[in-house]
Amino acid sequence: MSDSDLQSKYVLQTAGFDARFPNTNQTRHCFQNYTDYFKCIAAKGEDYAPCKQFKRAYNSLCPNEWISKWDEQRDSGTFPASLEP
């Protein structure tokens, strides 16, 4: 597969600058995007396109282990933050 085929198949994006999180440590930014995504889909539904920006951001910023742990916590009802809209 050539480089141009790969480039047309995959679009890589990282989370954009967020003025609420100006420091280099992006832990809070990661967690905030994770919670914002689930609040957004609870309020607007999974098909609401702007919610997908939060998902792209947390997938870009958060380690996969954290996401897995938080998913397990949400499923078991022990997630430490409110996800109500």
Question: In the prediction, which pLDDT does 68 show?
Answer: 97
E strands within the chain?
Answer: none
Tens of pLDDT, residues 11-57:
666 677 777 766 667 788 899 999 999 999 999 998 899 999 999 99
Cβ–Cβ < 8 Å for 58, 72: no
| CATH dotted code for 26-76 | 1.10.10.140
Instruction: Classify the C-alpha dihedral 17-23-26-27 as positive or negative.
Output: negative
Residue 63: pLDDT above 70? yes
| Interior angle at CA 80, CA 59 and CA 52, nearest 5 | 30
Tokens of 73: 């916590």
**Mean pLDDT, range 72-81, rounded to an integer:** 94
Question: In the prediction, which pLDDT does 27 show?
Answer: 87
